[in-house]
Amino acid sequence: MITWPLAELLPHAGDMILIDAVESFDEEQVQTRLTVRPGGLFNRLDGSLPAWVGIELMAQSIAAFAGCRARAQGKPAGLGFLLGTRKFECNVECFPAGAELHIHAQRSLEDENGMGVFECHLHGPGIHATARLNVFSPPQAASYLAEAGPQESPHA
């Protein structure tokens, strides 16, 4: 199991960190896990998580993959964006409270501009979900987020 704190691997804070641990990672893939606990930001009244949250769990696993790679190189975790998903399929409507979920994300494509595609699988007791996630991690993330300053009028 990876012992780096999740807050150092993910560009999220507090309750927005949904995964519990990074089990393993290498240059092509990551394995993460979590136990569904009631009372979170996305939980239903019965403590379960709607199945669509699986997309966010997969995205956070990919972010943890990027964070682990950065940390192994002595760099801070960078910012990344989930661009979209294709073929999200899940055999259940929700993930019940107490269920231990395991997520596997395998890199299938990544270019030098920060675009990536990952094949993801989520498993738990009687649970199976799959999706292909498209992500973007710009080399200079701060420049993508910077707001343009006020423009000077040429007549001022």
Write down all domains in the chain, each with its CATH number in brackets: 6-141 (3.10.129.10)
Is residue 9 within 8 Å of residue 77, measured between CB atoms? Answer: yes
Is residue 59 within 8 Å of residue 133, measured between CB atoms? Answer: yes
- Enter the tokens of residue 150: 């006020």
Which parts of the chain fold into alpha helices (H)?
6-9, 53-72, 141-145
Q: Which residues of the chain have pLDDT under 50?
A: 147-149
Strand ranges inside 37-155, DSSP E: 49-50, 81-90, 94-95, 100-110, 115-124, 127-136
pLDDT in tens, 7-36: 889 887 778 999 999 999 999 999 999 999
- Enter the tokens of residue 140: 């200079």
Whole-model pTM: value is: 0.88
